[in-house]
Copies of this chain bind each other. A is one copy, B any other.
Amino acid sequence: MMATDSLDARVDEILKSLGRRTTAPRRQVARLLASKRGAFSAESINAELPEVGRATVYRTIRLLAEAGVLCKALLPDGSPRYSIDHSWHHHHLICSSCETVEEFRSSELERLLGELSDEIPGQVLGHQVDFYLTCPNCLQ
């Protein structure tokens, strides 16, 4: 897990590079995110930060997701879930039962997806692979 101060520094850098200001609310959101394990909804963050306005929570999450600090996964119904992005490219294992989101990587998969991207007409911007499953925990 990322240390709080290390994420603080990373967020400071990103804000500076984007010409945005370092503010107390943004820091509070970032700190709470750093303490999270696994994926979470924007609403859950909002609920845990009553002293920060809802609009600001959503704006900050969007900002950090676009900056690459957060990674966004979609549950089967389309609900977004966010998690700290560790920079390396990965995909998601999503438990349909408890909605846990785990990371997943496969170099062989990336190689093939890259090849396919070259064959696809148009300009491929990215890809997303999700495995829907019942996680070991939910299998009892």
Bound-state CA distance A106–B39 (Å) is: 30
**Size bracket, chain A contacts:** 35 or more
Contacts of A123 in B (CB 8 A): 133-134, 139
Q: Per-residue CB proximity of A70-82 to B under 8 Å, as 1/0?
A: 0000100111100
> What residues make up the interface of A, taking CB atoms closer than 8 Å to B?
74, 77-80, 93, 95-96, 104, 106, 108-109, 112-113, 116-117, 120-136, 138-139
Bound-state CA distance A4–B106 (Å) is: 43
Bound-state CA distance A139–B116 (Å) is: 19
Query: Which has the most chain B C-beta neighbours within 10 Å: A78, A113, A130, A132?
Result: A78
Bound-state CA distance A126–B139 (Å) is: 16
Q: Mind listing 6 A-B residue pairs with CB under 8 Å? A: A109-B113, A123-B139, A124-B131, A125-B133, A128-B132, A129-B129
- Give the shortest distance, in Å, between A73 (CB) and chain B (any CB): 10
Knowing A78-B80, A125-B132, A125-B134, say if A116 contacts B120 (CB, 8 Å).
no
